[in-house]
A and B are shown apart, each in its own frame.
Chain A
Amino acid sequence: MKSIHVSTTVNGDPAEFICTPDETLLDALRDRLGLTGAKEGCGTGDCGACSVTLNGRLVCSCLVLGAEAEGAEITTIEGMATGEALHPLQQHFIDGAALQCGVCTPGILVAAKSLLERNPDPSDSEIRYWLAGNLCRCTGYDKIISAVKAAAAEMRSN
């Protein structure tokens, strides 16, 4: 298969890579660009560990082709903090013990940020349904929901 040259923007920086036509965006991010924050938990869009945003839309990067990144703006977990300053969601996940093994955490943080951009004051139920596509096997989700709520409250007050 002839490879494709892709020009894109990742976390605000211009990026270029070459990928095969059947290569997923997740593989391109991880293997071509060295951004291993997004994880492959299933490869079928069931677990959400590979969540990134594509032109502002929350996607499972295992279900998007690398070639689709052409001319797009991608954001990943690596772009969430600003320098040393963590995003309120990241800080509340640490403070509220909302992670254990942490392998689902990048996807959940990206998904939660996407929620708060659309709904700055979500109810518990809205958070639970929004994150229903992100599997976590360690925490039972309890502390994740609390951390998202706490981060949302902080962001509203700033």
Chain B
Amino acid sequence: MALDTPKRTFKVVGTRPARPDGMDKVTGRAMYGADITAPGMLIGRILRSPHAHARIKSIDTSAAEALAGVRAVLTSADLSVPEDEFIRDVQDNCMARGKVLYDGHAVAAVAATDAATAKAALKLIKVTYEALPHVTDVDAAMKPGAPIVQDGRTLENVPAGMSANVTSHSEFGHGDLASGFAKADKIIERSFKTAATHQGYIEPHACLASVAGDGKADLWCCTQGQFFVRTLCAEIMGMEASQLRVTASEIGGGFGGKTTVFIEPVALALSRKSGRPVKIVMTRDEVFKATGPTVSSSMDIKIGMTKDGRITAGEAHLRYSGGAFPCGTVDMGGQAAFAAYDLDAVRTFGWNIMTNRPKEAAYRAPGAPQAIYAVESVVDELCQELGLDPLKVRLKNAAKKGTKSSYGPTFDDIGLVATLEAATSHPHYTAPLGPNQGRGLSCGFWFNFGGNTCVSLNINTDGTVGVTEGNPDIGGSRASISQMAAEELGVPYEKVRTIVADTSSLGYNDVTDGSRVTFSVGLATIKAARAAIQNMCARAAKIWGIDEDAVEWKDGAACPAGPNAGKFPPMTLAEIAAVSAETGGPIAGHHEVNADGAGVSFGVHLVDVEVDPETGATKVLRYTVFQDAGKAVHPDYVEGQMQGGAVQGIGWALNEEYIYGEDGRLQNAGFLDYRVPVASDLPPIETVILEIPNPGHPYGVRGVGETPIVPPLAAIANAVSRAVGVRMTELPMSPPRLLKALMSKG
């Protein structure tokens, strides 16, 4: 669906109205996953493996079953084995079958009349394990002879002779690397590692399942995609989609981590077994151990540059581990690595390797931050070595309209050059710095998704509007969707209410991910509004006794189109709605689409840091985000995405990491030891929104949510390098790691 021409002026889009869920969220009324109860509800709890890798020899649940108040006990023996490999992996991750594959892997579950009884029952379950050798490091897992996490999971594209932990290989790029590197005046090769991090949403996973005796079931849960939850759970439970209604609660953060299921099939199975509703709420310890953190990575980068700053060739070898199951995230890393550059010779090679870690889930721009951190670090080091301005070098090599991207497609209108120019002219770039301070920058990129989307828009008889959409609101999307409906219909924002439907009330919608919602749901809402407008024009034509084509929609009212149509005063939406019963019945519009044209997103971050040479602690002093939003529908929430993503990236760069002991167990499964940024760690995060319209959306909208987490990793590493002269090639740059680097530099 193309950009509207001529370019329109907006009345509602681009303003900053109060979000519709604001009142509920500031008063405690909003209902999140753990806030929902049902009559007769049982409490479910899950027993988890203390081993990183072990064979389950036996599970004896008899004592737990005999405990008063216990109504159901579940193991994988209660579940059938799905034929579909993808579904089987999801199920096996929710409840181990045969082997436990990581510390925290579920082995059994109970449902009891209260939490204390459920907890006591878990202690009565006797699991006999045969401990197996484990591996948690991606490089160690790739070596021949490493402990095998799962056998027989390797795809055909992996060359023979590699460890069975290597599950897939991918390559992207074009041009001749050898001749590209031959043209370079300087070539730098570096290896990098990044730790696995967690999305760190404040709301632990929670769900309530109720399966009735006739097989009909309801599931309430905090999720980014109720329709996908239905698909997964219906497959695992052997149910028809129509029999399982999934309702998404308010969601207390997701960032990609709530795009799959961990406890929902367990709650459904316990409910089916007990005949009672079952609620499961994870503890924070469980969230860290047994949900889906991001991949850990190990990477080799080689880039060549001429003396005047032209990149002649780029090569990346990416080894990602998505935990104990096959994972395709490295493909996105390979595609994103060099996306910011217009290159003649570029190639990326990606490998996924299994380790005894929890199964990865998406985390904001999955795969991109790691690869781009490594590439942007080497680009920066080349600039340092050749004495070049890092912004000028990026401008010189920047991808633009017509560039054949490093992953294949040719870019349409994109905003990278505009963001780089905005950074160049911003006062931040030339502000003075003090001792032990440095300034760094990095580009960021995300593809942006479109996908399956379905919207229903109803014109109420009192002149108000209801929009029914199917994507949980994780960043203010109900506000932006209401704005787009109001804009199109020509009614005030306050007249529109947007709700997120359950799976029985609307057609399939893809998960809220990939920064797809404001783009795709917005596009479908605009089309649904246009369908309703067409209907309303027809009603006015009927009342006036003129041809439908002789009516047009202007400023929220049907009007005769031109002098030949006849002279009638405009009929407003409210006036048409009020008499709809006499003109043909209710008025609605709907639209269904598998949306493409999402329009890629670029951003540039500038950061100043100060390093304490005594402790290795890095303080972020100043931070500015420049990003192309296409069209910022609600600028407050666009800024919010830019600020929140930047701060998650700051945490990744400086503090956050999954730390495993020699025993393969996670050592920091809590917010005290897995330290996310707190308010006192941070400066204000300044934002500069650029608007280069996306040709694939009627208003020019692009997704904005993922890109901001990408640049902070390299921007901060580059700033640290310029502050204290050490190039940090391992994340996070926590104080002990940075201090060690400073000491060995001397």
Contact = CB atoms under 8 A, between A and B. Distances in A.
Given A41-B203, A46-B672, A93-B22, A137 B27 contact: no
B711 interface: no
Interface string A82-95: 00001000100111
B680 A143 contact: no
A80 interface: yes
B19 A139 contact: no
Contact of A101 (B253, B643, B681): B253
Interface range on chain A: under 10, 10 to 19, 20 to 34, or 35 or more?
35 or more
A144 B25 CA distance: 14
A39 B32 contact: yes
Contact of B679 (A44, A94, A138, A144): A144
Interface in B14-43: 16, 18-19, 21-32, 34-35
Contacts of B253: 100-101, 103, 137-138
B666 to A, nearest CB: 15
B131 interface: no
B723 to A, nearest CB: 22
Interface string A122-158: 0011011101111111111111110000000000000
A95 B28 contact: no
Contact of A141 (B27, B32, B281, B679): B679
Contacts of B252: 39, 41, 101-104
A20 interface: yes
Interface string A30-44: 100001111111111
Contact of B676 (A49, A81, A95, A137): A137
Given A80-B27, A103-B253, A105-B25, A44 B284 contact: yes
Contact of B116 (A20, A134, A138): A20
Given A42-B670, A46-B672, A139-B643, A37 B28 contact: yes
Interface range on chain B: under 10, 10 to 19, 20 to 34, or 35 or more?
35 or more
Contacts of A109: 26
Interface string B252-275: 111100000000000000000000
Given A100-B640, A143-B636, A135 B26 contact: no
A100 B19 CA distance: 9
A131 B680 CA distance: 8
B380 interface: no
B284 A143 contact: no
B685 A142 contact: yes
A95 B18 contact: yes
Looking at B16, B202, B475, which has the most chain A CB atoms within 10 Å of its CB? Answer: B202
Contact of B28 (A43, A76, A86, A93): A76
Contacts of B28: 35-38, 76-78, 106
Nearest to A138: B644
Nearest to B23: A94
B26 A132 contact: no
Given A44-B672, A46-B672, A90-B27, A97 B680 contact: no
19 contacts: A41-B671, A42-B284, A42-B670, A43-B283, A49-B202, A77-B26, A80-B27, A102-B30, A103-B253, A104-B252, A105-B25, A128-B679, A131-B678, A132-B680, A135-B678, A136-B679, A141-B647, A141-B679, A144-B679
Interface of A: 1, 20, 30, 35-44, 46-47, 49, 76-78, 80-81, 86, 90, 93-97, 99-106, 109, 124-125, 127-129, 131-145
- Closest A-B pairs by Cβ, 10 of them: A37-B28, A103-B252, A102-B25, A97-B636, A140-B647, A140-B643, A46-B671, A94-B22, A77-B28, A90-B26
